Chain A
């Protein structure tokens, strides 16, 4: 079973700060996902990565396959970024099995 560890568990920032959330996993993967869970509970997918880097607006996700590590960066953070950020991995070599293993999440609070 793949173990997914996120750090930090909790993060408080001031508006405008650069945020980094880390994710490490124990076993080789075919894909890594970053998701966002809003305070109301809804969960949305932000990124899916298998290599390199992806950018969407102020969010940047990177992955280092050799080091089994991914980071999610938020530039110019805003109070509306306050949420739980969840890392999830799809183990193995792919195929038609899309089961994910989830980290416990990082609670981000951005103060104005």
Chain B
């Protein structure tokens, strides 16, 4: 089992460019999450999906959109990247309480 995978590992964007961060899990988990991690701050929830076909906003959703494509995949899209979106992005999944994290994507917006 690969667990939770994320692509890409690292990305540099110019302000205004768009991109999609991909996340997939092979553990048959219902819930999936997107977080961002910034220096000096805890992980903050961007969006989550409690089950296939549902998505809800988290703490910091502005500037992002998500798609729960199927039970395995949950993508995060930045339509027009801004320097404030420079961060490390983590995807996670859970069946119940315990969340399993992907390796993260480092995003730099210039």
Contact = CB atoms under 8 A, between A and B. Distances in A.
A105 B101 contact: no
Interface in B31-88: 31, 33, 40-45, 48, 50, 58, 88
Interface stretch (B11-19, B20-28, B92-100): B92-100
B83 to A, nearest CB: 21
Given A45-B99, A45-B100, A4 B42 contact: yes
B25 to A, nearest CB: 14
Contacts of A102: 42-44
Interface residues of A, number: 22
Interface stretch (A52-60, A66-74, A75-83, A90-98): A90-98
Interface range on chain B: under 10, 10 to 19, 20 to 34, or 35 or more?
Answer: 20 to 34
Nearest to B96: A98
A8 to B, nearest CB: 14
A98 B44 contact: no
B51 to A, nearest CB: 9
B103 A41 contact: yes
B42 A98 contact: no
Interface centre among A33, A43, A97 (most CB of B within 10 A): A43
Given A86-B43, A104-B42, A41 B104 contact: yes
A27 to B, nearest CB: 15
Given A42-B101, A43-B101, A44-B101, A98 B94 contact: yes
A99 B35 CA distance: 11
Contacts of A96: 50
A90 B97 contact: yes
The 7 closest A-B pairs by CB, nearest first: A102-B42, A43-B101, A102-B43, A104-B42, A45-B98, A48-B97, A41-B104
Interface of A: 4, 31, 33, 41-45, 48, 86, 88, 90, 96-105
12 contacts: A33-B97, A41-B88, A42-B103, A42-B104, A43-B101, A45-B98, A97-B50, A99-B45, A99-B48, A100-B99, A102-B42, A104-B40
